């Protein structure tokens, strides 16, 4: 299938209408054309939405064949209510605050996506990245607690790093992990600063600036604590040139 098409492509000669592309729920306009444009359905940001709103949006995506449907930043109480509404097909990770309706896609990317986290305190963000990448069809290798304070732990994992198609490097404090990983691998590195650290880390700003100023080539940076953005970018890189 050519990359310009997708499984949800409209019949030849038919133009998309508003009804094809959007379902208006009153409080939300669900983007039904996202999968056709980008290869994956619209992702729901759960913070600030009620459990009922989240459930209705996810149900809309499911009814229109937009699977797997993902919600990020959803707390355990809302997730429990959404699960009651949608049934056993709803998966939830409390650590990552990540929900998914429907099964993850089978891995079909170029190679493994490695998610490396500096410390155990970075795991909520790392897991958000890992689950995002897994959901959309990527083999994910997790390397956790491999920060530069004990760099031998990272160097012991060089085999996994060298096999990676993309590495997501998650770190707070001074954010040095991304630069070190960038110097070890030939593939793109997606750096994720986290808000982990003491006062002078300024809620992740120190790690963000360190990653932006990395001397290692091929390192890109997403926003503080944005595990979803990193996992999604890794997915897109890992599917470059492949059919949707």
Pinpoint the residues of the chain covered by CATH 3.40.50.1970.
Answer: 113-238
Q: Could you give the CA distance from residue 31 to residue 42 in angstroms, rounded to a whole number?
A: 6
Q: What is residue 12's predicted lDDT score, i.e. its pLDDT?
A: 57
Q: What is residue 1's predicted lDDT score, i.e. its pLDDT?
A: 38
CA-based nearest residue to 177, from 138, 132, 230: 230
**pLDDT band for position 38 (cuts 50, 70, 90):** confident
Gyration radius from the chain CA atoms: 19
> Which CATH number among 3.30.360.10, 3.40.30.10, 1.10.3210.10, 3.40.50.1970 corresponds to the domain 113-238?
3.40.50.1970
Mean local confidence (pLDDT), 25-35: 91
Mean local confidence (pLDDT), 177-183: 96
pTM value is 0.88
Which run of H or E residues covers position 2? none
78, pLDDT greater than 90:
yes
Mean local confidence (pLDDT), 2-18: 48
Q: What is residue 36's predicted lDDT score, i.e. its pLDDT?
A: 87
For the chain, what percent of residues have pLDDT higher than 70? Answer: 91
């Amino acid at each position: 299938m050519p990359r310009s098409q997708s499984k949800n492509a409209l019949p030849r000669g038919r133009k998309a209408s508003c009804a094809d592309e959007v379902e208006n729920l009153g409080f939300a306009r669900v983007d039904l054309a996202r999968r056709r444009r980008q290869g994956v359905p619209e992702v729901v940001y759960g913070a600030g939405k009620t459990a009922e709103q989240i459930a209705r949006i996810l149900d809309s995506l499911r009814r229109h064949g937009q699977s797997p449907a993902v919600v990020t930043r959803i707390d355990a109480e809302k997730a429990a209510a959404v699960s009651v509404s949608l049934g056993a097909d709803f998966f939830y990770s409390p650590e990552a605050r990540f929900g998914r309706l429907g099964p993850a896609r089978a891995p079909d990317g170029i190679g493994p996506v490695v998610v490396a986290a500096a410390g155990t305190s970075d795991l909520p963000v790392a897991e958000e990245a890992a689950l995002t990448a897994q959901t959309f069809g990527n083999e994910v290798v997790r390397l956790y607690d491999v920060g530069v304070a004990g760099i031998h732990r990272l160097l012991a994992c060089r085999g996994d790093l060298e096999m990676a198609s993309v590495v997501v490097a998650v770190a707070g404090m001074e954010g040095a992990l991304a630069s070190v990983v960038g110097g070890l691998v030939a593939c793109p590195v997606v750096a994720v600063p986290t808000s982990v650290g003491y006062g002078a880390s300024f809620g992740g700003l120190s790690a963000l600036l360190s990653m932006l100023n990395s001397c290692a080539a091929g390192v890109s940076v997403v926003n503080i604590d944005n595990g979803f953005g990193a996992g999604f970018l890794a997915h897109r890189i890992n599917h470059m040139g492949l059919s949707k």
